[in-house]
Structures are given as C-alpha cells and as structure tokens.
Amino acid sequence: MRVLVTGGAGYIGSHVVKKLGEQGHIACTFDNLSTGNRWAVLYGDIIVDDLNNMEAIRRTVRAFRPDAVIHFAAAIVVPESVADPLKYYANNTANTLNLLRVLQEEKIGMFIFSSTAAVYGMPEQMPIDELAPLAPINPYGTSKMMTELILRDMAAVNSSFRYVALRYFNVAGADPKAQIGQAYAAATHLITRGLKTAKGFSARLQIFGTDYDTPDGTCIRDYIHVDDLADAHLLALKSLADGRKSDIFNCGYGHGFSVREVVTVIRDVTGIPFLVEETGRRAGDPAQLVADSTKLRKVLGWQPLYDDLSFIVKTAWEWEKKLS
Ligand code: UFG
C-alpha cells in the first residue's frame, strides 16, 4: 500500500515507517521536523512542511496519492499542554482538521489516528477498556478526544471513509536493532529521563508525587514497547484494507508499573545507581493508567513480543548510549 505518514520522522512514526518499508509498503513522511529527525526516516521520501499549511498537504496528497494515512504528527507533553493549551488545540485538533479536509476532498478513505490513554482522564475501572467514558483531565487528552469525535462524525456521513484510532498507553523502548529510537533532547518521559540521568545529563531524577492512591504512592503506567505498538499500526492498516469497519483500540499490555518500580529497573539495567529526588505532583497526572487490550488482541490478532519492562529499558538504553 501507499501510506502517507505524518510525523514519520518522530519517535513512534519512524518505527512504523521502518516496519512499513520492511513489509514492502511505500511510505511517504510529512513532518515539520520540530521534534523529529530526517535520519530517522529509513524508508521513502520525506516532505518537510507543517500541517497548518493546507496547500502543502494538498500538494503532497495529490502527488503521492496514498491509499491510507497514518497520522502521528502532534504535540504530546501533558504538562506542556496544561501550560499552553492553545498550542495543543492548534497542533493536535485544528491541524488534524486541515488534514481531514484534504483527505475528504481527495477521497482518501483509510485513516489511522494516534490517540492516547489520556482521553480517559482518571478512570474508575482499572484496567481500562474502550467503553470507559472519555473524560480527559488535561488539554492534551482533550485535543486528542476532540479529534476522535471529528473522526466519528466524519465516518458517520461518509461511507467511503473508515478509520482506526489507537489509544496509546506509555510508549517506551527503541528499535531492538538500535537503528532508531527517541531522539528528542528535551524529552520528558520517565524512562528517557531516567536513562539520561544515568548518563550523567542531570544530577538526579525527580519523582513527581509520592502521595497517590497506589501501593507505593507513585503513579502507575502501562509501558508498551514501541515495536509492539508499531505492529498494532500494521494490523490496523490491514484491517482497513480488508474492509473492516472503523474502530478504536487500546494499546498497552494490561499491567502497570509504579514510578519507583521503573526507577529500580533503570538502575538494574544500566548498573548506575543514579540519585532520585522525591518532589510534588506534576500537573495533569492521573494516578493510574492500565490498558485492557483484549480487543486489540482478539479483533486485530495483536501478539506483542516485548512485554518485559527490563527488555524495554534495555533497548532504550542501547539506543540512548548511541546518542551523544
Ligand atoms: N515522571 C516522574 N519523573 C520524570 C518524568 C515522569 O516522576 O522525570 C512520572 C510522571 O509524573 C508520571 C509517570 O512518570 O507519573 C509517567 O510520565 P511520562 O511523562 O513518562 O508519561 P505520561 O504518563 O505523562 O504520558 C504518556 C504520554 C502521553 C499518554 C500517556 C498515557 O506522554 O501521550 O502516557 O498513559 F497520554
């Protein structure tokens, strides 16, 4: 298939582009390189432009004629979204609308959307299945929820448009061959921050909040290896190509680790007993997010290979050591 990948130079997008290339698809990346890197795009062309530029989207779609679009390009940092909500509504919601307008005009009928567990807010039931109410507690989650609703309404009136929204839990790790990985120096994610601390880039890792209603007081997250998540995209693409209906799937393994448990694994894997500082809560953090991914396994036949936090951290560490 010919697949247009927005954000294909970014962390998750580049892993999906790699898999598309390995499986014989033709990928074209559209990326503004604000957080992505040209070298991370291992297959296909890259168009460097922004989704706020509808003319550029139109030109790209007309020239490439994709069968399907996988849409990663977005801003993704929860605390930043609390501080600068308009950036999130512009980047994640309004820019997606630009893309969808062009896809509607050009009659492109298959769409895969990077959604997030943040659409659930602070869910009462754990693990979370796809029927849990959407109640985001930060602008990041709201910006993604709004896009999901736009997709729902668009598909409802346009039978030749189908989509899959994948709700990612906490994506981590790197390509097991260490060709690509997260390469954003200002990354805020726990595992990346922990590894950078182990490398000596900062004096200590902060733990944001130790008074949550969890067994050890720190937040619990479901960490999923980026390659297993990439597989979910390829399965979603196949399901649409096979004529399946629009759908939504949680992407996680179904069990969580606390921040303290993650710190222990990072120290074990790196062999570096870096310092930790316990500080107050970070704005916008729910106590616990664990996926019920039964639907992804049953309906799309997802069979993850790397459900092992030590392996996830090890691949991220191998990659991190390659960065300067
Ligand atoms: N944390 C620390 N110290 C750090 C960084 C993070 O204690 O230096 C804590 C956070 O407070 C949180 C946990 O580690 O409790 C995980 O934080 P991340 O920043 O790694 O990830 P988030 O859970 O905030 O968000 C990620 C993605 C979102 C997605 C969410 C869904 O960035 O896109 O997972 O679970 F919505």
User: What is the Å distance from ligand 1's center to 189 Cα?
Assistant: 5
Question: Residue 52's pLDDT is what?
Answer: 98
Residue 178 lies in a domain: no
Which pLDDT tens digit goes with each residue over 99-109? 999 999 999 99
- Do 134 and 232 lie in a common domain? yes
> Which of 88, 113, 147, 170 most suits a substitution to test ligand 1, by most atoms within 8 Å of the C-beta?
170
Do β-strands 26-31 and 45-48 pair in parallel, antiparallel, or remain unpaired? parallel
Residue 274 lies in a domain: yes
User: What is the Å distance from ligand 1's center to 291 Cα?
Assistant: 15
- Do 270 and 155 lie in a common domain? no
Whether the Cβ atoms of residue 229 and residue 171 lie closer than 8 Å to each other: yes
Question: Residue 184's pLDDT is what?
Answer: 83
Domain coverage including residue 205: 190-221+254-322
Determine whether the shortest distance from the Cβ of 11 to ligand 1 is under 6 A: no
**pLDDT tens-place values along the chain, 324 residues long:** 999 999 999 999 999 999 999 999 999 999 999 999 999 999 999 999 999 999 999 999 999 999 999 999 999 998 899 999 999 999 999 999 999 999 999 999 999 999 999 999 999 899 999 999 999 999 999 999 999 999 999 999 999 999 999 999 999 999 999 999 999 888 899 999 999 999 999 999 999 999 999 999 999 999 999 999 999 999 999 999 999 999 999 999 999 999 999 999 999 999 999 999 999 999 878 899 999 999 999 999 999 999 999 999 999 999 999 997
Hey, what are 84's tokens? 């600068």
Residue 26 lies in a domain: yes
- Do 49 and 103 lie in a common domain? yes
| 269: CATH | 3.90.25.10
User: Cβ neighbours of residue 159 under 8 Å, at least 6 residues apart?
Assistant: none
User: Cβ neighbours of residue 36 under 8 Å, at least 6 residues apart?
Assistant: 7, 8, 9, 10, 11, 13, 14
The domain tally of the chain equals: 2
> Which of 128, 208, 289 most suits a substitution to test ligand 1, by most atoms within 8 Å of the C-beta?
208
* CA dist., res. 26 & res. 12, Å (int): 17
- Do 150 and 12 lie in a common domain? yes
171 phi, psi to nearest 5 deg: -80, 135
What is the model's pTM?
0.97
Tell me if residue 240 falls in helix, strand or coil.
Answer: helix
